[in-house]
Structure 1
Amino acid sequence: MPSTATSALRWTRQHPLIIVLVSAAVCLFGWLLWQGPWLLDRAHLQDTEPGPANVVSGFRTAVVAAGAGIVAGVGLAYTHLTLQNTRENNERQAQLTRDGQITDRYTSAVQHLASDGLIEQLGGVYALERIMRNSEEDHTMVVDVIAAFVRKHAPMSSPDDEAEPQPTEDSEIEPPVQVQVAMTVLGRRPLGRGEPFKTGLGRIDLRGANLGGAYLGNLDLIESHLQGAILIRANLQGTLLYGTEFEDVDLDDADLRGAEGLTVEQVLSARVTSSTKLPPGLDRDPRVLERIAAVEQEREG
């Protein structure tokens, strides 16, 4: 940390005009002490009687007092500026320290994501979530990294892939644990951050995923597989759903107002209820109303 003398020297180099003004003020003050009384009342101060001498002494005392007040004021102003500069420097240093810590945590989290171990991957996802919540400026970057992790571990099967095993009566298709956790983290990301772009999650396999209550707005789920997923109370406003598979998706109390690309056929393949919030037009379609009635009757039975 620089010494007081070094800081003062740096300050004088940065403010030469102030130094000149202070020097001029000191010279003016000395001259005023010397010639001030005669300047104001030269005619009555030619005498050396005690009266005129007392006037000179009193005038000089007043000038000294005024000068002391000015010096004290300048000192207080200088102290204030010094403290303000120190505080700003401390804040900048603290911000640099925080940025460095976030960078270290981010690097460690990404390394965990790249690991082959499930525990390490889960730790990386949760570490990124904490960074996302604590640092608004890193929000978009963290969301993109988690989305890339999901795309890597939940790709949609291509026609050239081997036939996938079909679920039996005692088993259901579910996404890998790390994918479920990553989607859960994406679904509870902080709102109001102003995400500039749709987060790319198109053509991924989320069959059987539990996304109840998740915020899935502003995501790109184009041509993804959501068969059998639970989207109860999920928010899909602004989500891209062109060609997304909705077969047997539970949309009870889900909000799909503003969802883009949603068709009647997709809604008819899902499990919609009267509490499902659909885009204008779809909510009044006779086929959709009939499907809602059938689902609710099935649940009551």
Structure 2
Amino acid sequence: MTQRTKRTVITGAVFVLIIGYALLLWRGPWWIDGAHLRERGLQPADGVVITGFRTTLVALGAGAVAALGLWYTHRNHELAQRQFEQTQEQFRLTQEQFTHTQKKDRDQTSLASEGQVTERYVEAIKLLASDRIAERLGGIYSLERIMGDSSRDRGTIIEVLAAFIRENARIPSEPFETPLDYRAPEDIQAAFTVLVRRKAQDDGNAVLLTYADLRGISLRGGRFDSLVLGGARFDRGAFWDVSLTGANLSSVNFSHVAFYGGSLSGSALYFADFQHAHLSNVDMDGSVLQSANFKEAFLHGCSMRDVDLQNAIIDQTMVTDSTTLSPEDLAKAKIRNATHIPDRLISDPAVIRRLVECRREQESADSSEEEPSA
């Protein structure tokens, strides 16, 4: 049965029911109880029977209409519920499809991005091997840009730049003097600058730069954390607000280096050479300065709490009043003549005893040098 035929049948049935109901209201009392009702000259008793029948019929009709309304409402509710469930299912499927598409797009974007990074990385490496300084600088700064764009490649790029410095900044084997106006080669300066200004999250394994020739390096800001620079040379360099906190700087040559601000706190500076160095307002708290050489150095406004100056050479050194240094720490150093020490330190008994000991040691060394010539 088609939908149209079904509607026609239902409409006809409803029409018949309405006609039948109307007939029942009109003639029903006589059809049901016609033997006791008059056709004409109705009496009060006949009116009671007719009214009761029609009232009952009206109540039944109202009940039927109410029941039909409830059924229709229930049916609509079920249809609405099914539609809602279908809509929910369709939304879930659409969401799953969207999530799948989004993941696929992300994967494709990631692959494309990795491909671009790889191409850029290869080109940058080629530039590093160039004979032209401008191209090498371009390669270094391209690697820095890639390091910022790709967290996965940061460790590799740091190692590449460190290897570039190790290969191209080797300390000459023959003795040499560093000229007064010496400046680091531009590519070495650029590569080292990129390493020291990298982000904190780039830290991984220690970066090995031992015995690197970094003379004449000039830095503003940055940090040496995780750099191993034992035996490196920084002669004639300049550092403004650079953090060397916790760095391995044993036997590093800082002669004629200027430090302005920044930090050397907690660093290992065994046998470090600070001859003629200028240190102003540098945080050196907790540094290990055993056997470090401060001959003719200038220390102004430095914080040197809990430093280890065991056998450190303080010779013709200028230590200003603004430098924070305890007598107990200074008394561990080898204090030579012509050294300027603040009154609060030079008057301390421990420092006085140490001065006397150092003078005797110096006199003994001088006399032992004179004996062979005699």
Using the size of structure 1 for normalisation, the TM-score is: 0.70
Q: Which residue of 2 aligns with 1:100?
A: 115
AA partner of residue 317 (structure 2): R
Q: Is the Cα–Cα contact under 8 Å of residues 109 and 127 in structure 1 kept in the other structure?
A: yes
Partners of 1:249 and 1:88 in 2: CA distance: 54
More strand by share: 2
Larger RCO: 1 or 2 (CA < 8 Å, sep 6+): 1
AA partner of residue 108 (structure 2): Q
Higher Rg of the two aligned structures:
2
User: Given the alignment of the two structures, is residue 145 of structure 1 paired with residue 160 of structure 2, yes or no?
Assistant: yes
Partners of 1:168 and 1:289 in 2: CA distance: 23
Deviation at 1:64, TM superposition (A): 2.8
1:286-297 aligned within 5 A: 291-293=317-319
AA partner of residue 89 (structure 2): V
Q: Which residue of 1 aligns with 2:191?
A: 182
Deviation at 1:268, TM superposition (A): 4.5
Q: Is the Cα–Cα contact under 8 Å of residues 273 and 292 in structure 1 kept in the other structure?
A: no
User: Given the alignment of the two structures, is residue 278 of structure 1 paired with residue 287 of structure 2, yes or no?
Assistant: no
Q: Which residue of 1 aligns with 2:96?
A: 81
User: Given the alignment of the two structures, is residue 247 of structure 1 paired with residue 273 of structure 2, yes or no?
Assistant: no
Q: How many residues were matched structurally?
A: 241
Which one is further off, 242-251 or 266-275? 266-275
Deviation at 1:222, TM superposition (A): 0.8
Which one is further off, 125-134 or 208-217? 208-217
AA partner of residue 275 (structure 1): N
Q: Which residue of 2 aligns with 1:18?
A: none
Deviation at 1:93, TM superposition (A): 1.5
Q: Is the Cα–Cα contact under 8 Å of residues 223 and 243 in structure 1 kept in the other structure?
A: yes
Using the size of structure 2 for normalisation, the TM-score is: 0.57
Q: What's the secondary structure of 1:68's corresponding residue?
A: helix
AA partner of residue 189 (structure 2): Q
Deviations 1:36-57 (A, max 9, x none): xxxxxxxxxxxxx994994766
Q: Which residue of 263, 267, 273 corresponds with 1:259? A: 267
Q: Is the Cα–Cα contact under 8 Å of residues 252 and 273 in structure 2 kept in the other structure?
A: no
Partners of 2:274 and 2:138 in 1: CA distance: 39
More helix by share: 1
Q: What's the secondary structure of 2:247's corresponding residue?
A: coil
Deviations 1:261-288 (A, max 9, x none): x14x536525243511114265255966
Q: Which residue of 73, 78, 84 corresponds with 1:69? A: 84
Partners of 2:98 and 2:315 in 1: CA distance: 69
Deviations 1:197-247 (A, max 9, x none): 111111111111112323222111111111111123211112211111121
Partners of 2:246 and 2:195 in 1: CA distance: 15
Deviation at 1:61, TM superposition (A): 4.3
- Point out where structure 1 has 5 or more consecutive residues left out of the alignment: 1-48
Partners of 2:219 and 2:280 in 1: CA distance: 20
Partners of 1:112 and 1:222 in 2: CA distance: 29
Change (3 A) 1:214 1:66: closer
Change (3 A) 1:99 1:204: same
Q: Which residue of 2 aligns with 1:203?
A: 211
Deviation at 1:150, TM superposition (A): 1.0
Change (3 A) 1:106 1:51: same
Which one is further off, 243-252 or 275-284? 275-284
- Point out where structure 2 has 5 or more consecutive residues left out of the alignment: 1-60, 290-303, 323-338, 341-374
| Identity value in percent | 27
Q: Is the Cα–Cα contact under 8 Å of residues 207 and 228 in structure 1 kept in the other structure?
A: yes
AA partner of residue 88 (structure 2): G
Partners of 2:211 and 2:273 in 1: CA distance: 19
Change (3 A) 1:247 1:61: closer
AA partner of residue 66 (structure 1): Q
Change (3 A) 1:254 1:66: closer
User: Given the alignment of the two structures, is residue 225 of structure 1 paired with residue 233 of structure 2, yes or no?
Assistant: yes
Partners of 1:186 and 1:273 in 2: CA distance: 23
Partners of 1:197 and 1:212 in 2: CA distance: 24
1:117-128 aligned within 5 A: 117-128=132-143
Q: What's the secondary structure of 1:89's corresponding residue?
A: helix
Partners of 1:167 and 1:243 in 2: CA distance: 17
